[in-house]
Amino acid sequence: MSTIKRRERDTIVQALRAGVVPKLGLQHIQVGRVREIEELVKDMERLADGGAAIRFIIGEYGSGKTFFLNLIRLVALEKGLVVMSADLAPDRRIYATGGQARGLYAEMARNLSTRTKPDGGAMANIVERFVSQAHRDAELEEKQTGEVIRRRLAHFEEMTGGFEFATVIRRYWEGHETGDEDVKSSALRWLRGEFATRTDARAALGVRTIIDDQNVYDQLKLMSAFVCSAGYKGLLISLDEMVNLFKLTSSKARNANYEQILRILNDVLQGSAENLGFLFGGTPEFLMNTRRGLYSYEALQSRLSENSFARDGLVDLSGPVIRLANLTPEDLFVLLSNIRAVVQDANNMLPDEALHAFMTHCSQRIGEAYFRTPRNTVTAFVNMLSVLEQNPGTNWFDLIEELEVQPDGGDDLSDISDDPVGSAETPKADGDELSSFKL
């Protein structure tokens, strides 16, 4: 195993103990799913070559979807792509009329990452890189920087919403040239979707529109073109917790979001998008439920249906849907070994015998779930290592015998119930109108 930095070690331990995915050091503990990773690496290369990609990463609660998405995010950054990522939530979704879509865009913009700034907040770096490159090109061509910037932004004006986008970039450059930090800050606020009203944006920048619920996808396409103009290879959008769309109480709101997903899917599959990729992480219910999931929308069901020949052990990873394969017990043993190497000192490690005993104990308590949905198993293991580290002389065998491990059923769908007969199906503060009424 490669040398691990203290910051990475601390991040991994703290995240795993809390049952969440660390954003640093994933390469130190990654195991299994080699074919899926290879397929997604091909997607990243396709984006860098000017293509587009879309994938639905489907797995049970606790099976490692978020870990997989974060791993691919790191791969994309290493490939020279820019990554925007966010988790969907009740107040953040792909399409809305009450500000929730703008909220999702603003969250993605805050998490905007590049290879040199992997923790987010890279919007200013990207715009500065665009301006700096334009300045260098102007010196080589013996022209004015403003002339070069206008030329490089000319094709944006042919795209939906591109005129205002180009104006904001020019305003940032003007602030850069004059040392006006207020103008630069306002331009960045606009690009991050932080202006709530057109009046404020017009007063600050002289533009008549803002990023709002109606134009989020158009802005993502503009951002993809812009990062390429700034010298990056493309833009990857990573959205997790898609089950929050499944949980919307209004069928009208759900279908509006599914229509937006269909629009994105069609653009990617038909070649209308360039240097733009999407990863959507969700549970099997989010995909296959024919009443509330993606399969409830007929056009999506036909496009996302699995290859009928991929059965009896055969797989097809070329389609939009990638079902995360379960970790095998052998994979979990390697995972626990990797975690042991991260947490413990090389001279004071648990023996392999302890790992086998731990896995046997978990198997007896919760059955196959200990490696099929390994979140709780990993958390229990890290907790045990922490106790051993802080209590020298403690016998690992005694700790394992006392260990309580619960199956990780998750609570993604615990607050969902079928709409009762005789009730109105109305959304809660989402800006949508009455969707249906049953008697």
- Helix axis angle, 352-366 relative to 375-390, nearest 10°? 130
pLDDT tens over the chain, length 439 residues: 557 888 888 898 898 888 888 887 888 888 878 889 999 999 999 999 999 999 999 988 877 888 899 999 999 999 999 999 999 999 999 999 999 999 999 999 999 999 999 999 999 999 999 999 999 999 999 999 999 999 999 999 899 999 999 999 999 999 999 999 999 999 999 999 999 999 999 999 999 999 999 999 999 999 999 999 999 999 999 999 999 999 999 999 999 999 999 999 999 999 999 999 999 999 999 999 999 999 999 999 999 987 667 666 666 788 899 998 777 889 889 999 999 999 888 778 899 999 999 899 888 887 766 766 788 888 889 989 988 888 888 888 888 888 877 666 555 555 555 444 333 334 444 444 444 444 5
> For 179-308, where are the alpha helices, taking DSSP H only?
181-191, 198-205, 216-229, 243-246, 251-269, 284-288, 298-304
- The encoded tokens of residue 333 equal 């043993």
CA distance 193 to 168: 12
The pLDDT value recorded for residue 61 is 80
Q: Helix, strand or coil for residue 206?
A: coil
The pLDDT value recorded for residue 372 is 65
**Structural domains of the chain in order of their starting residue, each with its CATH number:** 1-32+328-402 (no CATH), 35-120+235-323 (3.40.50), 123-205 (no CATH)
Give, rounded to a whole angstrom, the gap between the first and last alpha carbons of the chain. 63
Using alpha carbons, list the distances in angstroms from residue 404 to 258, 360, 363, 407. 41, 13, 12, 10
The pLDDT value recorded for residue 409 is 55
Environment class of 398 (CB within 10 Å of its CB; exposed 0-12, middle 13-18, buried 19+):
exposed
CA angle (193, 76, 235) in 5-degree steps: 35
* Residue 400 contacts residue 359 (beta carbons within 8 Å): no
CA angle (160, 163, 166) in 5-degree steps: 115
The pLDDT value recorded for residue 435 is 46
- The encoded tokens of residue 211 equal 């990023």
Cα atoms found within 13 Å of the Cα of residue 109, Cβ hemisphere only = 23
